Structure 1
Amino acid sequence: MSKLNKFQEELDVLAFNQQELDSLQKELNHLGGRMTKSQIELKGFNHQRKIEWEKVNTTRPIEFQINKEPSWANIVNMARKTQVRKANYSDFLTDEEIVSSITALYDLRVELNEEYSSKMVDELKENFLQSLIGPFGLSLHMLRAFDGGAIPTVHNANKGMIPHDKNGEKLEDYQSKYNRDDYAPQHKMNQQRKERFKDSEPIIDGYTGKELNRNGQSHIEHVVSASELHGDDWARLFLNADKRKELINNEDNIIWTNGSLNQSKSDTDLITWMNTPSKKDPTKTNAQYYEMDTEKAKEAYQRAQKNKKQAVYKAVGKEVFVQCGKTSIKMGFRKALGYILYEFAKDVFKETKEVFQKKKHQAINLKDELTSRFKMIVKNISGKWKEIIKQFFDGAIAGFFSELIIFIINQFVTTLKRMVRIIKEGFMSLIGMIRFVVSPPEDLLREEIYQQCLKMGTTLLITSGGILLEEVIEKFLLSNIATAPLATFLAPIITGLLTGLLLSVIMYGIDKLDFFGAKEKKIDQRISQKIMDDLWAIEAEFDAVFV
C-alpha cells in the first residue's frame, strides 16, 4: 500500500472516531442539562425538609484537548486521559429515574407510616407488660418499702420510727433516760481507783500536770462526760448501750484529776467550764482558779472529742453503706430479673402464637413443639447475658443512690413508704435515661432521642401516680369485707393493669403527636437516603462505562 493510501485510511479512521466523539459530547451535554434540572429539584426537596448533605465539588463538563500532532495514538490517549471530572451526586440522574424516584417517594412514605403504626402497637404491648412486671410486680416482694426508708435518722427516731427494729429494742434504748450507772457505776470506779493506788508510779493530774495523792481527793475524770454522750442523739441512735459504755471508758477519754475540780466540772463541757468564772472566786475563770495547764487540757479534750466523733461517724457510715448496699443489690437483681421475665414473657407469647398457627395448617406433636420452642427461648435469653449484667448494674446504681437520697431527705422530712418507692423508681428511670442520652443507639436521630426522653419522663410520672393510686385502691379493698383478705395482693395487680393501660395509651399519643418531628424526620431521612443510594448506583454505572 502506498504512503498516500495509508495516510488516507488513517484520516478516514480519524474522521469516523471524531464523529463518534462529537456525538458523545452532544449526548453528555444533553445529559448534563437534565441532571442540572434534577439537581435543582432534589435541592428544593432537601431545603423543604431541612435535610443537609455533605458539600461536594461543583460539576465540570468533560473537556477534550486535541493534540496538534496528527498522531492517532496521541489523540486516543489524550481523549482517554481527559475523560475525568468531579461531579455533584445528582449529575447522573436520568428522566426515567427521576420519575421512578418521585413515584417511590409515596410508596415508601406509606410503607414507613405502616411500619411506625406497627411499631407503636408493639410498644403498647411492651409498656403494658413492663408495668405488670416492674413497679407493681417484682417491687411488691423484692423492694418492700418502709416509712422513713431503710436507714434510721434522728428526725424519724424522735417520731418513734426506727427501721429494722421489730421488737422495739433500738427505740427503747434511744428513748431511755440518762443514768450514770449505765456508763460508769460508782463501785467500779472506786475499784479502778484502788487498783491504781497499788501501782508505784506517780499519779499525774491530766489538767494541771501536778502529782496527785493516793486518797479520796484523786478522781477519775471522763473528758467527754457520760451525760454529754447520752445527750448526743446520733450516738444514742447508732451506738448501742455497750458501745457507748466502751467509748466513755476508753483510755483516751479518761484522765486523773483532783476531786474538787472534777466535782466543779461535773457534766459540763470542758472548754465551756474552763472559761466560766469560778464559783469560789468569780474574779478568776475555773482554769485560772484550779491552775490548769490549758494547752494540756485542750489537747485531752480534742483527743476525746475526736474519738467520740469518729466512733459515731463510723457507725453512721457503716449503717448507711450496708443499707444502701442491700438496696443496691436488691434493685440490681430486680432490674435484671425484670428484664429476663419481660424477654421470657414476650418470647413465650410470640412462640405460642406461632405454634398454634402452625398447628392449624399441619399435624404436629404439640408437646414436642412447645418443648423445642421453650429450649429456644431459654437459649435466646442466655445469649443476652451482657444486657442482663448491664441491667443489673443500672438497678444497683439506682438503688444505692436512691437509698442515700432517701436518708438525706429523712433528716428533715419523714418519707412514707409510697414516696420511698417513687424515689427508687424515679432513680431507676433516671439512670436509664442518663445511659440512653450518653450512649444512644447509633441510628437514632436527635429528635428521636428527645422523643424517647419525653416518653421516659412520662413513664416516671405515670408510674409515680400509680404508686399513689395503689394506696387508694388498697384502702378501698380493705373497706369491703369480701376483698379485705386479698387487698394487699390485689391492689398491686389492679394498679398495674390500670397504669399499664394508661401508659400504653399516652405513649401511643406521644408517638402520634410527634412533638419533636422525629417520625417525619426519620421518614425524610430514609427517603432521601434511598435517593442517594440510587444516585450512587447510577454514578457507579456511569463511571464503569466512561472512565
Structure 2
Amino acid sequence: MIDNKELINDYELLENDLKEISQREQLKININQNLEEALQELKNIETQLPKEQSKKLFEQCTQNALDAITSHFGLAAIVLDSQDGGNVSTTHNARKDIYANENDKQQYEKREKYCSKKYHNGEYNKINNKLKKEIEEGRLYDYATGKMIKPKDNTQLDHVVSAKEIHEDRARILANADGVSLANTPQNLKKTDAKINNFKRDNSATKTLEKLEGQIQILTEKEIKNGKLSLKDQKNIERLLDMQCKIDGEKFIEEYNHQKKHIDSEIDKIYYTSLKPYKEALITGAKDSTKMIVYSALGMILRDFFKSLMIEIRKTFKEFGNESFSDIFKRFKDRIHYIWDDIKKKWKNIFASSLEAGIQAFLSNLVVFAINTIFTTLKRIVQVIRAGFTSLYNAIKIIINPPKDMPKEDIYFEAAKIFTAGIIASLTMLGSEAINKWLITIPGLNVLLSLPIPFTSETIGDAISLSISAAFGAIVSTIVIFYMDKWKNNSKIGNLRLQLVTQSGVILNCKIAQTWLMLDDAYIFLTHAINSIKEKNLILQNNLTQELNTYKKMDEERKTKISNLKKKILDLKELHD
C-alpha cells in the first residue's frame, strides 16, 4: 500500500519544480523584451542626433534677406497703410492733434463755437442754488482753499475743469459727446472765492498757479527795478499775494486732476462704446487685408521667378562662350514654362499663404488700434508692431499646431527662434529712416528717391531704405538663429550621448542576464545528464550484481555437481575394485 505522506511530498516537490520553471521562463521573456525595447530606444536616440546642416550660413543669410525684403519687414510695409497713430482715430491721439483720417480732423475744425451761456444755464443754475443752501447751513468748503465758506463770503460756482476746455477738447468732439452734460455735473461744479474764479478763468489748476506766480514775479521785479510800485500795481500785487496765500495748491491741483481724469474717462467711454472706432477698424483692416493678400500672392510668384532667373543668369555666365544666343533664349523660355507649371501646381498653397498673410494684416491693424488707445505710435513704430505681430502670430501658431512627433521642448525652441528673428528684424526697421536720410544726401539720387510710389503714401526712398533695413535685419537674425541652433544642437548631442551611454548599459545588463540564464540552463542540463548517467550506472550496477550473483550461484551448483560426480566416480571405482 502506497503511503499518503509520500504522495503529498512528491506532489509538493513537483509543484515547486513547476513554479520554479514558470518563474524562470517569465524572467527570460522579460529580459528578452527589455533587450528588444532597449535596442529600439537606442535606435530612436541615434535618429534624434542632429544632422549636419545642408545649407551654409552665407546661403541662409542670402535666402532670408531676399525673403525679408518681400515680407512684412520689407516691401509689405510700404503696401500696408502706416501713419502716426495708426489707421483708426483714438481719443488719446486726438488730444495730441493726431487723426487717422481727414474727416475726423475736419470735424474738429468745423466744431461749434464756444458759447458761455449754454454752459452757465440749466443744470448749472440748479446746482448753484443747491450749493447756496449748503453755504447757509454752514456745511460747504471752498475747493480751492479748503476753508469753510461763510454766508457773507463773495463766492462763485466754478467749473473745476473749465467749460471752454471741455468744449474745445478734441477727444470730446471726436466722440461727439455733449460738452454741457460733461461740464455741468455736481463733481465738476464747485464753489470758490470769486477773485480766484475770475483769475482762473479757462485755465487748468497748474496753469492758474503758474500764472499767479508769474504775475507776482513780474511785479516784484518791477518793484526792485523802480524802487516802488504804483498804487494800482501795489493793490494788484496785494490781491495776488492774498490769493496765493489762500489757495491750497496741492488740493487745488489734486481736485482738478481728479475731475479731468473722470471727464476724460467719460469721453473715452462714450467713444469706445459707439460703433464708430470699430467700424473704422474693420474697414481699414479689410483694406489692408485685401492689399496684403494680393501683394503676398504676387510676392511669392515674383520670388520664385527671380530665384529661377538668377539660376539661369549664373548658368549663362558659367557657360559664357559655349552657348549660342538661341540656346540661351530657349533655356530661359523653358525655365519660364517650368515656373508657370510649378505655380499652377501649387496655387492652393499660394492662396492659403496669401489668405493667412491677409488675416495677419487685419489682426495687426486691430493690435495697433488697441495700443493707440493708450499710447501714440509713430509711423515707423506702427510698421515695427505690424511686422513683430506677424512673428508673434507664427510663433503662437507653431505652439498651437506643432509638427507631428516634435518634442515639446523643440516646439517652444522653434517658437522662440521665430519670435527672436521677428523682434530683431522689426527693430532694424527703425533704422530705415536714417538710411533714407543718408540716401537722399547722395548727389543725383535725391530727386529719384523723392518720387512717390503709386497708390501708397511712400516714396521710392522709403521702399529702398526699408528693403535695406529688412535685409540687414534678416542677416543679423539668421546669424543669431544659426548660433542658437548650434548651441541647442551641442546641448542636445551631449544629452543624447549621455542617453546612448545609459542605454548601452541597459543593453549590456540585458545581454549579461541572457548569458547567465544560458549558462544556468547549461548547468541544469549538465546536472540532469549527470543524474541520468548516475541512474543508468546504478541500474547497470544492479544488473551486474544480479548477474554476478547468478554466476556465483551457477558456479556453486557447478562445483556441487562436479563434487558429486567425483564422489560417484570414486564410489564406482571402489565398487570395481
* TM value normalised by structure 1: 0.50
Greater per-residue helix proportion: 2
Larger radius of gyration: 2
